Chains A and B, each alone.
Chain A
Amino acid sequence: MTRALADTYYLTLRALRETMRQPALEIGNVFIPIFFFAVTVGAIGSSAARAFGVDNYTGFQMPIAVLQGVAGAAGVAGIGTVTDIERGYFDKLLLTPAPRLSLAMGRLAADGVRICLLSAFILVIGLLFGSGLESGPFGAVVLVAMSGSFGLAYSGIGMALALKTGSAQAAQLGFLIFFPLLFLSPAFAPKEFFAPWLEFLATINPVTYIVEGMRSLVLEGWDAAALGKAFASIVAMGAFTMTLVLLGLRSRTA
């Protein structure tokens, strides 16, 4: 176990070094969510607030900006793995005694770290826009940790596809899947305003509970039930995606 953690740590450092040497790749992940956040709040913020009875629509939207950033940043592990496979470096890693799961977890953990930093940055921008944060500084830490752990779990989709197919296009599917999930959550309006069919889909969508958990930290303070559901969704999603990752790893040495 100790060896697995140590190997994961070394491979995480390597993936983060890769990110630091290609900083341009992060620009889109930072710019796009902030752009949509600013445009959404600026365009429909006041009317949406009245229509939905939300006092602070800027705060209502801030978790969506964070999650959009997560979606963009969460694809890096899969793409990086495809690059390793294409270069032949992934075979070199498979030839080491490092546990197979560490080879995947190194890059996934690096995604988690990058997403935490990105989320903290978007959070600061949100605060500058006036979103507020009812749960205070510790709530900011929890929100960032929540986005990082969700990002780590979500990156597993791209990683599993990368391992199974060795294809960059397939690895990017993880990013594309996220948008239906986000739009089928109460991203722009509370669930109570949804048509019944959409409300049903939102209820079974794990992203809904992550949105509501983050939103509770911003708008309400500490809501144990909302936070519990959010972290339970992340754990369930993580269990699912890590199973896919393990299957993908197995297929690499069939």
Chain B
Amino acid sequence: MSAIVAEGLAKHFNPDIKAVDGIALDVPEGQIFGFLGANGSGKTTTVRMLTTLLRPTAGRAEVSGLDVTRHAGAVRSRIGVALQEAGLDDIQTGRELLTLSARLYRVAHAEIHDRVDQLLRIVDLEDAADRRLKTYSGGMQRRLDLAAALVHRPSVVFLDEPTTGLDPISRDAIWRYVGELNRSEGVTFFLTTQYLEEADRLCHDVAIMDTGRIVAQGSPEELKASIGTDVVSLRIDGGADELARAEQAVRRFEGIEDVRVVDDAVICYVREGSSAIARLVLLLDDASLRAKEVTLSRPTLDDVFLKKTGHHLEAEDGNPPGDAAGRPGRGRRP
């Protein structure tokens, strides 16, 4: 059964701004689904429509089999949501906030105390439970926000950029909780993230969003396989002219599938990249150009993203969309 379904879902803020432009989604129960996209691509607007915070302009969506517009109240009872910024009340303590959430989500009165203790334990906040939230670090607030989203044992959880801006340890902790809950309780997660290697590692399926539309959807392996080639990155010594000439030069290579110019690099999608490298460098040499760095790799989600959207995904915290330690996934970035 599907946990989330959308058909022709759209949100237009005025006739000219199509934040979400008719997307289709089908997320089976028990999946971790990654929703990838740059700032302004429409990810957050989609999440806000699916979680009943925004009315769609057109189309329809169901969560847990319930229409998000006609049965908004019932949808809210079944979902947990942690939005992009941990929206917490810093006058309250962590325990008070979770207790209030439990009450508003109709958790049985007799169960609230134990449930709050359990969640505080799960997110490692037992020692800070009775401190006011204004004393919490960003990572602690995100963990508490996640706990608040889980307080009523929702069957579907939406996490909008749950790890952006967090240190690697806090990020790892958030992903560990997500993975455990998905495995142990079958909770469906719909998450947006800018960390593509994390999405690759954790998500069963992902969708790539660009300018309000879904441009690719499938499992990370399927999407990477869809590129079907190796990726050779040639960082060119020189400026825009040299890059343009380098692009023309490598296009003469007979095994080339596609070429992109990104920053100071020419990205070549080729079959059998290991044997293509020497030929590509020779073609540059023939054009009196020099590659200051050459990298060969199998396709990553970043390559899929680049190929589908024409640009890299830049993380909001200023880091490239690398792994959990904030390292670039590839050596070709400036």
Q: Which residues of A contact B (CB under 8 A)?
A: 3, 6-7, 10-11, 14, 17-18, 21-22, 84, 87-98, 253-254
Contacts and interface: CB of A to CB of B under 8 A. Distances in A.
24 contacts: A3-B106, A6-B103, A14-B100, A17-B92, A21-B91, A22-B91, A84-B89, A87-B87, A87-B90, A88-B86, A89-B87, A89-B88, A90-B87, A91-B83, A91-B87, A93-B104, A95-B51, A95-B53, A95-B81, A96-B76, A97-B104, A253-B54, A254-B54, A254-B55
A97 B100 contact: no
B91 A95 contact: no
Contacts of B83: 88, 91-92
B73 A97 contact: yes
Contacts of A96: 76, 101, 104-105
B226 interface: no
B77 interface: yes
Contacts of A7: 103-104
A253 B55 CA distance: 7
Given A17-B92, A97-B106, A91 B53 contact: yes
Contacts of B45: none
Contacts of A21: 91, 132
A98 B89 contact: no
A87 B88 contact: yes
A18 B91 contact: yes
B198 interface: no
Given A10-B104, A88-B83, A95 B89 contact: no
A84 to B, nearest CB: 7
A97 B77 contact: yes
Interface in B29-66: 51-55
A50 to B, nearest CB: 51
B257 interface: no
Given A95-B76, A97-B104, A17 B52 contact: no
Interface of B: 51-55, 73-74, 76-77, 79, 81, 83, 85-92, 96, 100-101, 103-106, 132, 148
Contact of A14 (B51, B55, B92, B148): B92
Tell me the interface secondary structure of chain A in the complex.
helix
A10 B132 CA distance: 18
A29 B147 CA distance: 37
Nearest to B148: A92
* Residue in B51, B74, B90, B106 whose Cβ sees the most chain A Cβ within 10 Å: B106
Given A11-B100, A95-B51, A98-B104, 8 more contacts: A22-B91, A87-B88, A88-B87, A89-B88, A92-B81, A93-B104, A95-B79, A95-B81
Contacts of B104: 7, 10-11, 93, 96-98
Contacts of B105: 96-97
B93 to A, nearest CB: 10
A7 to B, nearest CB: 6
B73 A10 contact: no
Contacts of B86: 88
A18 to B, nearest CB: 5
Contacts of A98: 104
